[in-house]
Amino acid sequence: MIFQHQGKFYLVDWKSNHVGQSPEDYGKDALINAMVENLYILQYHLYTLAVYQYLRLRKPNFCYDSDFGGVFYIFIRGVDSNSRSMSGIFHDLPSLNLISAMGKALIPGF
């Protein structure tokens, strides 16, 4: 899903993976492990490239650095609405250099 908040575009993907029994089990290290094991890192880089390509072709003056806020993977079993922690929430903002390199490698005429 793509959404816009305070002028920036974001990607969000909802995951139902079982990482543990409680929200405390869905901390940063556990989420990184789940992201690596399930190849979600590759997935969100491809998603980011697709969104970047779409926005730069459709939105006049689109600037990745100021208009894209990154990717969220929400592990719904680990989110605790009663807590202010980021339990169950993974966020990353891939570098423009990496996304551009991917575009050049994968999209003719990028």
Report the length, in residues, of the chain: 110
80 is an active site residue: no
**Cα–Cα distance between 40 and 85 in angstroms, integer?**
22
Would you call 42 exposed, middle or buried from its count of C-beta atoms within 10 A (0-12, 13-18, 19+)?
Answer: exposed
Known catalytic residues are 13
